[in-house]
Amino acid sequence: MRSQLMNLASYFRRKYRFMARFSLPFLISSSIFFATCLLGNATANSAPIRSFAPVNRYVVGGAVAEIISASPDGNTLAFTNAGDQKIGFVDITDLKNPQPLGTVDVAELGEPTSVAITPDGRYAVAAVLNLIDEKTQSITDQKPGTLVFIDLKTRTIAGQLLLPGIGPDSVAITPDGKKVIVAIEDEEDVENLPGQRPGAINVVTINYSNPSQSKVTNVPLNLNGVAGVNYVEDVQPEYVAISRDGKTAAVTLQENNAIAILDIPSEKVTRIFSAGTSKHEKADLEANGDIRLNQAFEGRREPDSIAFTADGNYLVIANEGDTDQESFGDGIYSGGRGWSILDLEGNVIYDSGSSIEELAVRMGQYPDNRSDKRGIEVEGATVAKFGEQEFAFVASERGSFVVAYDISDVKNPKFVGFMPTGMSPEGVLAIPKRNLLLTANEGDGTIDIFQAETTVANPYTEQQPLVMSESQETPFSALSGLQPVPGSRQLYAVPDSAITPSRIFTFNLDGSKAFVSRAMMITKDGKPMSYDLEGITLNPAGGFWLVSEGDDREGQQKPNLLLKVSDRGTVEEEIPLPQEAAAIVTRFGFEGVTTNADGSKVYVAVQREMKDDPKNQVRIGEYDIASKTWNFYFYPLDTDNVDGWVGLSEIVRDTDGSFLVVERDNQGGANGAANARVKRVYRFSLNGVQPGGTLQKTRVIDLFADHNWLEEKVEGMAATETGYWIVSDNDGGQMYTRLLFVPR
């Protein structure tokens, strides 16, 4: 069966080649191979649309991209940028070359939380939360929010409407364009629930001639007598969805684990019901670096996003969670760790259970540090019909991916695709008339664009393979060092401290896939060890050399260690820095390791300057095995970074005996993609350079300029006879793992 599946995957690779200019790996399609591997579904999807293929990842240029909306023709996007307190606009007529259309500053009013474009394309309507100065004001000083009407043609403010509610969090516009439904969350203090102000729903009847004169109705919510809610006195509306016929709105009351149904014509709430709990047997509830989905779990769904099915009879909810588990003392967790379909009475029609987290583990996109909280936190969701097919799209904020399901049969959703996104997708938008799916990614300030395909698309190649685990038994993430396995199509890799105990992974390179096939535990005196591994190389005498990064911060004190490890993973020797160097190294210490050709000397890269080192010069350490002594050389860093710092993250010996280092800034990822610049590989030689001397470097690869590398942590590199493998550290499962081969 395995060989048949591999042959099928090979066929799809040949038939659907991904265009070389797009370098970001995104998609697992719904072929029999991937559906079988990932979700155990062995039947191919025969519906017209069979995948959602990546087209582009657009960097918005601001701090974040959060909630997103499109003009009626699908060519103009509006998005909220809460970090810069602006509404941004983008022309996506040319999907491969989106054009910025400027921004509208709302800083005088506060922070934008949501935006929607009217059906006639005239206005972008944004909710703006009033901000307080936390140094001089208390939450009691917070003022009501504002609805801002922006002329879409001129991108100027056409009107402002003061809302009666404090803390507007979500807006939705009826299909006829007459009304805006606003969820007024009034989130007073997230650490001390319940608050004293209850929140509400505002219904705004738009005055198109003079938006500032639009009519507002405040619709209060009463949770008395509603079973299963958490805080009767603090409603906290979160997200709004409107049915296709425009008659009904559904509003999530996230912290209360409830949903309110609003009759729009009468502007009255007709019912409120609990979203209930999700139960499954496969969860990881311990944030210990050891990913194991083997614990029984029950969690309040506490949905964030919500969407109606096309017929208006069902609701798709993203079960993020947003309360403290200890708040209720019943052992039930916050968040359902998946998504569900409910009818309008609150009956559960479908629940995804553990399936999405299982998938995230296989893909290396399970953030174990969230295990004791809310796991992958499925937050964004939308529903759309593409032709006769209806799809649900749900996004994981913490795992940074979106999954697509065909819900034409709401009781039996069919998995269609897994698409890695930029960091922390918040808004999910489908544009069926253009066959598009988009995500707005809050973490790194990007927008992903995917296109519906009637074929099974596979964007992965031998140069950029899909990285995944062969089974749930070999979870991986946070790859920080690479090493070729001699005479094979394999790579060794090590993870940093996000994975514990420490281990050495073996990857099988199989065409457009790189499978984790083995995880060898690192032990000392028979006990598993937990290091902060940042590099791996073969020891010519047998076994491996590894490095563990130290940390000089108070309460975190760990030494930088050079580790001699047997081919069975046993630590044979721990070699620290000499005392004088150990006293001045910072937490940005050992970041890579290699040897000279005969193995008599071991070389380590230090990520950033030690205390009192020359500015923008970092150390290459040389350890002489026979004399057990250290020498150091100085390596000059690039200084054309846009922001943040620059340092080293890897060192390898090339086939000609020279050395290669990976030099990177700390931009991208959580620091935003807009400022990513320095992602480069340089070559240097020690010939003629004395210890204490400064090295001369030559650029070999510019990953940002030539390979569109936006990911922050270029961490691992392996040199082979034909080229170089380069891998990203996904920060413990917070993003996808990018693996790239650059030919010589």
Provide the β-strand partners of residue 593. 604
Task: Report, as an integer, the average pLDDT of 103-126.
Answer: 97
| pLDDT for the residue 285 | 97
| pLDDT for the residue 546 | 98
Task: Report, as an integer, the average pLDDT of 693-707.
Answer: 98
Task: Report, as an integer, the average pLDDT of 609-638.
Answer: 97
User: In the predicted model, is pLDDT for residue 33 greater than 70?
Assistant: no
Q: Range with the lowest mean pLDDT among 46-55, 235-244, 402-411, 538-547?
A: 46-55
Q: Please give the model's pTM, rounded to 2 decimal places.
A: 0.92
In this chain, the answer to whether the domains covering 65-235 and 466-743 adopt an identical fold is no
Q: Range with the lowest mean pLDDT among 27-41, 377-391, 403-417, 656-670?
A: 27-41
DSSP-derived letter for residue 141 is: G
| CATH classification (class only), 65-235 | mainly beta
Domain locations along the chain: 65-235, 466-743
User: In the predicted model, is pLDDT for residue 531 greater than 50?
Assistant: yes
Average pLDDT across the chain, whole number: 92
User: In the predicted model, is pLDDT for residue 198 greater than 60?
Assistant: yes
Residue type (1 letter), 460: Y
| pLDDT for the residue 143 | 93
Backbone phi, then psi, for 53, in 5-degree steps? -100, 145
Task: Report, as an integer, the average pLDDT of 571-593.
Answer: 95
Task: Report, as an integer, the average pLDDT of 72-79.
Answer: 98
Helix, strand, coil distribution of the chain in percent, nearest 5: 10, 45, 50
User: Which letter, b or e, does each residue of 705-715 get, where b requires 16 or more Cβ atoms within 10 Å of its Cβ?
Assistant: eebbbbbbbbb
| pLDDT tens column, 353-383 | 999 999 999 999 999 999 999 999 999 999 9
Under the banding of pLDDT at 50, 70 and 90, the label for residue 289 is very high
CA distance 669 to 710: 8
Provide the β-strand partners of residue 350. 341
First to last CA, the chain: 37
Under the banding of pLDDT at 50, 70 and 90, the label for residue 555 is confident
Chain centroid to CA 319 = 17
- Percent pLDDT > 90 in the chain is 87
On whether the CB atoms of residues 376 and 366 are closer than 8 A, the answer is yes
| pLDDT for the residue 456 | 87
3-state secondary structure 48-96: CCCEEEEEEEEECCCCCCCCEEECCCCCEEEEEECCCCEEEEEECCCCC
Burial class (CB in 10 A: 0-12, 13-18, 19+), 742: middle
Task: Report, as an integer, the average pLDDT of 460-489.
Answer: 96
User: In the predicted model, is pLDDT for residue 7 greater than 50?
Assistant: no
User: In the predicted model, is pLDDT for residue 457 greater than 90?
Assistant: no
Task: Report, as an integer, the average pLDDT of 148-171.
Answer: 97
User: In the predicted model, is pLDDT for residue 426 greater than 90?
Assistant: yes
Residue 485 CB: number of other CB atoms within 10 A?
A: 15
| pLDDT for the residue 24 | 43
Under the banding of pLDDT at 50, 70 and 90, the label for residue 601 is very high
| pLDDT for the residue 497 | 96
User: In the predicted model, is pLDDT for residue 449 greater than 90?
Assistant: yes
Q: Strands 248-253 and 239-242, how do they pair?
A: antiparallel
Under the banding of pLDDT at 50, 70 and 90, the label for residue 49 is very high
| pLDDT for the residue 137 | 87
Burial class (CB in 10 A: 0-12, 13-18, 19+), 332: middle
More confident residue, 209 or 10: 209
| pLDDT for the residue 569 | 98
Please, what is the Cα angle at 742 between 737 and 743, to 5 degrees? 150
Burial class (CB in 10 A: 0-12, 13-18, 19+), 210: exposed
| pLDDT for the residue 2 | 39
Backbone phi, then psi, for 721, in 5-degree steps? -65, -30
Under the banding of pLDDT at 50, 70 and 90, the label for residue 102 is very high
| pLDDT tens column, 315-361 | 999 999 999 988 899 999 999 999 999 999 999 999 999 999 999 99
Closest CA to 593 of 636, 552, 649, 637: 649
Domain 466-743 homologous superfamily, CATH: TolB, C-terminal domain (2.120.10.30)
For residue 521, the SS3 value is: strand
| pLDDT for the residue 191 | 73
CA distance 695 to 658: 12
Task: Report, as an integer, the average pLDDT of 257-284.
Answer: 97
| pLDDT for the residue 22 | 38
User: In the predicted model, is pLDDT for residue 42 greater than 70?
Assistant: no
| pLDDT for the residue 47 | 52
Under the banding of pLDDT at 50, 70 and 90, the label for residue 110 is very high
